[in-house]
Structure 1
Amino acid sequence: MFVILVYDINIKRNKKVLKICRRYLNHVQKSVFEGVITEAKLNRLKDEIKTVICKEEDSVAIYEFETLKYSSKEVIGLNELGDNIL
């Protein structure tokens, strides 16, 4: 499945969550990750994040897509490689 993960984490825990997410997904922007992941790996990712965040202060949203058949992605500005995209 394809996943987009976005988070708003207290700065005290930000580095830990960043490292966890980088192990499973591609880092697209400051707090945005995306990529193809198995259900088992996604469950591990969620479990790891739950051990780090504070549910009263932090927020993590995960969007799951079974297929990308009817989707498209457009990047305006700099992409992750630093190239300008129109």
Structure 2
Amino acid sequence: MVHLIVIYDAKAERTRHYRTYLRRHLTHLQQSVFEGDVTAGTADEIRETMDGLVSESAYDAAVVYEVSSQSYLKREAYGDDPADDKHIL
């Protein structure tokens, strides 16, 4: 498993393409920020999909951060944490 953090910037009319896809695999934290644990294969799929979505428009941008070991990840949330299971309906 790897931990991914994905952020994107796109025109308002295109954000739904990113949001709809990323919600299938990751937790939607805030606006255009997603994170979660996925398999290496799913991480590759997300990278390929993001590359394809960005390629469609010169105004879009995306960054995928990968943390391959939990020992390298220190995560602190302040206030309500969107990644907490109690936020899932």
Q: Output the TM-score relative to the length of structure 2.
A: 0.77
Change (3 A) 1:46 1:71: closer
Q: Which ranges of structure 1 fall in alignment gaps of 5 or more residues?
A: 82-86
Which of the pair is proportionally richer in helix? 2
Q: How far apart, in 1, do the equivalents of 2:74 and 2:23 lie?
A: 23
Coordinate RMSD, CA, aligned: 1.7
Contact 1:27–1:33 under 8 Å retained in 2: yes
Structure 2 unaligned segments of length 5 or more: list them: none
Question: Are the counterparts in 1 of residues 8 and 61 from structure 2 also a CA contact under 8 Å?
Answer: yes
1:73 aligns to what? 75
Normalising by structure 1, we get a TM-score of 0.79
The share of aligned pairs that are identical, in percent, is: 26
How far the C-alpha of 1:32 sits from its partner, in A, is: 0.8
Displacement of 1:55 in angstroms is: 4.8
